[in-house]
Structure 1
Amino acid sequence: MELNQYTEGKILLIDKPLTWTSFDVVKKLRYAIKVKKIGHAGTLDPLATGLLLIGTGKFTKKLNELQGLDKVYEGVITIGKTTPSYDLETEFENETTIDHLTQDDLEAAAKKLTGPLDQIPPAHSAVRINGERAYKKARKNEEVKIDPRRIVIHEFALTKIEGADIHFRIACSKGTYIRSMARDFGEILGVGGHLSALRRTKIGDYSVDDADQLDDFINQIKQDAAS
């Protein structure tokens, strides 16, 4: 596989590893395939895995278009505990009993979070407030006020319930924060909640089933370059 094809332009499907930032993946690929023009369509948090679309060369111009596509996520919301970041990046704040909740309660909460919604992004996010990233203000314990954003949740399906761990699949519009979905789900139930696992499985018609593992992709590039 010739490296100049990446300089000309390609869309790469990468399964982002856990704890890596989306920028980490782009940086690693820029070095491996030796291209200057490279970027990604849609950030994944470090604690999320799954589909990351990478554009190189002339296809970097398509990244905004790809970022606007609907997305599908699978993961786990753990109810009864909250964190400031709405995921496992920060320490637990509160713990509440969930013994009184039924499956009907859980299904009703998911239904309330389906359709057009005005969602408030997490304080621990990359949203800019007066030119500064919200998470930087949050980490300094400064007040963070973010305006709601209109999103659309096409599907919020509960796929398995294991005690406090609620497995889900969410199909949504661009700009949706699944961490905020976890927060809102817990608030509707009256017990709080946080996102304990997340995987992006689709972006538009692109599927993680067709994505390469990052290490495998880079090893293949090295083998091709050496042959």
Structure 2
Amino acid sequence: MQFSDYIVYVDESGDHDLANVSPNYPVFVLAFCIFEKEAYVTRTVPNFQRLKFRWFGHDTIVFHEREIRKQLAPFKFLQNQEKRGQFIAEMNELIQEAEFTVIAAVINKERLKGRYKDPGNPYEIALQFCMERLYRYLNDNRQTDKMTHCILERRGKKEDASIELEFRRICDRGNFAGIHMDCLDIQFQEKAANSCGLQISDLIARPIGLAEIRPDQRNRAFEIVEQKFRRGANGRVTGYGLKIFP
């Protein structure tokens, strides 16, 4: 099978634990960032590297939303308000200009527990929602006869094996339409690989969750991400690029 014109980077925000749900962040978010490969290698990656060279003098820095938000090393310079404002503005501009499409699922864990006697695993629920919509996106772009790789950051041997098993179950007709998604494959990558796509997916996942938790609070990062969601023919995002459940 030939390789498709697209590559998908996947990251999450929050955890899938239903026993201890944080009142401050009671959701689990899974975000798929779909890049057209040519645009990714010729524009997105070089622009991302330029940003790193500009601020750090080298491009080996790995951008992680948590470290940036908490101003941890190597982002301690963000404790300076002026530098923080400038850096965030440049990073937002980079993401805004980057050419990619977002498909995301937000699982409200409290509602999930309250509505279902056997609620299931939030990660697995979100994965199915995202994969179903990814398949439709690829079908719309005539790519289902080619192989598209979904890249996830490696977490641990046991967790990765569990995710891969669920991924392949969904591909093997374990989805709403009963389609055999043999055009999708899963690959795990070490954090140290410094993947631009994985870093962008990490940066956008939490803003999506915050938009669900605090819809009335200004969320500049989400305003940018919102423009990237897959949309239906009527321009609708809900159900196409964003699934809120339940």
* Shorter-normalised TM range: under 0.3
Larger Rg: 1
Bigger proportion of residues as helix: 2
Bigger proportion of residues as strand: 1
| TM-score, with length taken from structure 2 | 0.25
| TM-score, with length taken from structure 1 | 0.26
The structure whose RCO (Cα within 8 Å, separation 6+) is larger is: 2
